[in-house]
Amino acid sequence: MHPAYSVIFFTTATGAGYGLLALLCLAAAFGLVPPDFWLGFVGLGLALALVSAGLLSSTGHLGRPERAWRAFSQWRTSWLSREGVASVLTYVPAGLFGIGWVFFGQTQGWLAAAGVLAAIGAAVTVCTTAMIYASLKPIGEWANPYTLPGYLIFSAMTGTVLLDALLAAFGLGSRWLAAAALVLTLAGWVFKEAVWRRNDRLDMPATVNSATGLAGGTVRSVEWPHTEKNYLLKEMGFRVARKHAERLRNLVRLAAFAVPALLLAVVLAAPPVPALVAALLATIVQLAGMLVERWLFFAQARHTVTLYYGTN
């Protein structure tokens, strides 16, 4: 599949933003962090900025972005529409919680309930985003049991690393939180390696024989359907060379998982100032690595329509 940069940024930014939003709201609602004005302003502002920037960037892949609002009406049948509805609804409790925290210094009572609802909304929105891809049966790399948990794991991973850096910046760093970020980063690494191994052994959901109903022999095209690349080949027939894919995977291993894990280990052992620097670097490096991981997620997906063009 063609890796559109707007969608790559969208999935990376909203995953980290919703992860941070859910964790920060839950931490404040249950009294694990103080209702400090600047912590709430910067933390919730950062989370909502990432979410909003990601959602806005996703419209860049649409042919008519000004008509994006019409997708909301198809929530009964479309995961894309459900994602839009869930994302908008999440703003309501998140906004109420933010107003109570930032302007009134309160995160308890009914505001705590709003914070929990915002966290639930964030998780639901991430799930609907994952289901957009998991529901596409012609793409075996997406339509599998790994896609949904992968989105949730990476959202929790990047959100936790972001929260660790945020709290460290406000002098509220916690070794338990840093340890959780480290564990999630390693878990994300193990999960991604399992997905890559699975996809490397994956065959197309269909073959030319099964698509044409001709079971005997080998079916092949006598003449190619087009002499030049068309829209389908550009969007669904994108291919990345094996050697380039392996280099990019190694970059993901380093930037998204290995280097952040080492930096988080420094956070656990170092004094406050070096720990803060390590936490900030872990966040920056990991988000850069996740951009590459998302690029591969799209670039290495194969659509069965390419069988028509003999690219299987």
Total Cβ atoms within 10 A of residue 247 = 11
Side chain identity at 169, as an amino acid letter?
A
Identify the band that residue 126 occupies on the pLDDT scale cut at 50, 70 and 90: very high
| Minimum mean pLDDT range among 61-65, 68-72, 215-219, 281-285 | 61-65
DSSP the chain: ----HHHHHHHHHHHHHHHHHHHHHHHHHTTSS---HHHHHHHHHHHHHHHHHHHHHHGGGSSSGGGGGGGGGGTTT-HHHHHHHHHHHHHHHHHHHHHHHHHH---STHHHHHHHHHHHHHHHHHHHHHHHHHT-TTBTTTSSTTHHHHHHHHHHHHHHHHHHHHHHHTT---HHHHHHHHHHHHHHHHHHHHHHHHHHTPPPSS-HHHHHT--SS----SS-S-SS--HHHHHH-----HHHHHHHHHHHIIIIIIHHHHHHHHHHHS-HHHHHHHHHHHHHHHHHHHHHHHHHHHHT--BGGGGGGT--
* Number of separate domains in the chain: 1
pLDDT above 90: residue 132: yes
Percent of the chain with pLDDT over 70: 82
pLDDT above 70: residue 225: no
Contact status, residue 234 vs residue 287, Cβ threshold 8 Å: no
Contact status, residue 185 vs residue 286, Cβ threshold 8 Å: yes
| Minimum mean pLDDT range among 110-119, 134-143, 244-253, 300-309 | 300-309
pLDDT tens track for 37-58: 999 999 999 999 999 999 888 7
pLDDT tens track for 246-291: 999 999 999 999 999 999 999 999 999 999 999 999 999 999 999 9
pLDDT tens track for 166-191: 999 999 988 999 999 999 999 999 99
Rounded to an integer, the average pLDDT of 232-238 is 61
Across the chain, mean pLDDT equals 88
Residue 234 is part of which domain span? Answer: 5-309
Percent of the chain with pLDDT over 90: 65
**Residue 305, pLDDT score:** 73
Total Cβ atoms within 10 A of residue 45 = 12
Identify the band that residue 144 occupies on the pLDDT scale cut at 50, 70 and 90: very high
Q: How many CA atoms lie within 13 A of 124 on its CB side?
A: 17
pLDDT tens track for 8-33: 999 999 999 999 999 999 999 999 99
Rounded to an integer, the average pLDDT of 90-94 is 97
**Residue 228, pLDDT score:** 66
Total Cβ atoms within 10 A of residue 95 = 14
CATH code of the domain covering residue 57: 1.20.1630.10
Rounded to an integer, the average pLDDT of 144-157 is 96
pLDDT above 60: residue 312: no
pLDDT tens track for 196-224: 999 888 876 666 666 667 766 677 766 66
